[in-house]
A and B are shown apart, each in its own frame.
Chain A
Amino acid sequence: NAGVTQTPKFQVLKTGQSMTLQCAQDMNHEYMSWYRQDPGMGLRLIHYSVGAGITDQGEVPNGYNVSRSTTEDFPLRLLSAAPSQTSVYFCASGRGQSTGELFFGEGSRLTVL
């Protein structure tokens, strides 16, 4: 049982480049989300999805796109990377109909030069 798997674990980009952070879960969770973690600011919600084909914005969505074509996958796309997007990104999933536990991936550290 792999849980939540994120790739890559580390990435260095130049300003203006694009990339996709991959997230996959094997727990059949309806809910998936992306957070970014920055020093002194805790975790902030970027985008989330309550099921396949449904996505919505979180607290800090600008500069990021998401899609949810399957229950298992929830990729996060940076279309034109900026230094302000240097951060650690976490994907998390959970069951859809109750407030409660989120299962987190190990994180992806992104540096934008």
Chain B
Amino acid sequence: GDSVTQMEGPVTLSEEAFLTINCTYTATGYPSLFWYVQYPGEGLQLLLKATKADDKGSNKGFEATYRKETTSFHLEKGSVQVSDSAVYFCALSDRKGFQKLVFGTGTRLLVSP
């Protein structure tokens, strides 16, 4: 079945450092890809998405590019802030018309001042 693999955390960075969180996927067909973020004590919320190969999703300074040839969707940010500390989930959904998302295990990001 479909699956998502994320790098294990926690990822610990200093403020203004460059962030990369790796995500690779296995799926039949052409899934849509997502990054969700979970701040402490809250539910998940959509950060960005890409629906076809070579699409780049972006939001709040975060970016990720849908790479079909490497089945990857790595999350990047050029300069992280303390407020970016959260758990980040990579996810995919198939194209059958509903939101049955398959999530990765999540990567915790800790940003220190």
Instruction: Give Cα A41–Cα B49 distance, bound, in whole angstroms.
Output: 22
Complex contact A100–B103 (CB within 8 A): no
* A34 on interface, CB distance cutoff 8 Å: no
* B89 on interface, CB distance cutoff 8 Å: yes
Chain B interface: which size bin? Answer: 20 to 34
Complex contact A94–B43 (CB within 8 A): no
> Number of A interface residues, CB 8 Å?
29
Distance in Å: Cβ of B27 to nearest Cβ of chain A? 12
Complex interface residues of chain B between 5 and 27 (CB less than 8 A to chain A)? none
* B93 on interface, CB distance cutoff 8 Å: yes
* A78 on interface, CB distance cutoff 8 Å: no
Contact with A along B43-58 (1 / 0, CB 8 A): 1111001010000000
> Nearest residue in A to B41 (C-beta to C-beta)?
A106
Instruction: Give Cα A50–Cα B32 distance, bound, in whole angstroms.
Output: 19
* B94 on interface, CB distance cutoff 8 Å: yes
Complex contact A31–B43 (CB within 8 A): no
Complex contact B43–A105 (CB within 8 A): yes
Find A107's partner among B43, B89, B95 (CB 8 Å cutoff).
Answer: B43
> Nearest residue in A to B43 (C-beta to C-beta)?
A104
Q: A42-B89, A43-B89, A43-B103 are in contact. Are A99 and B97 (CB under 8 A)?
A: yes
Instruction: Give Cα A33–Cα B96 distance, bound, in whole angstroms.
Output: 16
Instruction: Give Cα A1–Cα B44 distance, bound, in whole angstroms.
Output: 17
Q: A31-B98, A98-B97, A107-B43 are in contact. Are A42 and B51 (CB under 8 A)?
A: no
> Which residues of chain A are near B94, meaning CB under 8 Å?
99
Q: A99-B51, A104-B45, A105-B43 are in contact. Are A45 and B100 (CB under 8 A)?
A: yes
Binding site for A on B (CB under 8 A): 32, 36, 41-46, 49, 51, 89, 93-106
A-B pairs, top 4 by smallest CB distance, nearest first, are A104-B43, A94-B99, A42-B105, A43-B103
